[in-house]
Amino acid sequence: MSEENNSGKIPTYIVIKNNQYSVECQIKRANDCQEISAFCESHEEALERVEEECWIFSGEGWICFSCVEAIWKKVVDKRQEKEDRWKEG
Ligand SMILES: [Zn+2]
């Protein structure tokens, strides 16, 4: 087991490009998925930004608002299907 000093360690869902930091969408499921957030000066700032934009932390990574919406719609559709089935039965 390797012991690492975690202070300042950058999570894997952070994308670094030209010294700028962005958060990558974990699932990229929606057609209009943002894939990565806007680039910021630090990864802390990038995280604050996605929180403000209503991305959701899954425990392992971040899911962009469009994908959250896509999942939600799917859940609602499934539920509707179920209710329709009950009505028929
Ligand atoms: Zn997404």
| Residue 39 falls inside a structural domain | yes
Ligand 1: centre distance to CA 24 (Å) = 8
Summarize the confidence of residues 37-50 as an average pLDDT.
97
The H-or-E segment that residue 85 falls in is: helix 65-88
Q: What per-residue confidence (pLDDT) applies to 6?
A: 52
Which strand (E) or helix (H) includes residue 62? strand 62-63
Total domains present in the chain: 1
> What's the CA-to-centroid distance between 54 and ligand 1, angstroms?
12
Distance 1 CA to ligand 1 centre (A): 33
The pLDDT of 35-53, averaged and rounded, is 96
For ligand 1, the distance from its centroid to the CA atom of residue 31, given in whole angstroms, is 8
Task: Say if 8 falls within a structural domain.
Answer: no
Residue 4 lies in a domain: no
- pLDDT range class, residue 88, cuts 50, 70, 90: confident
Residue 42 placed within a domain: yes
Query: Is 68 part of any domain?
Result: yes
Q: Which domain holds residue 34?
A: 14-88
pLDDT exceeds cutoff 70 at 57: yes
> Does the pLDDT at position 65 exceed 90?
yes
- 1 three-state secondary structure: coil
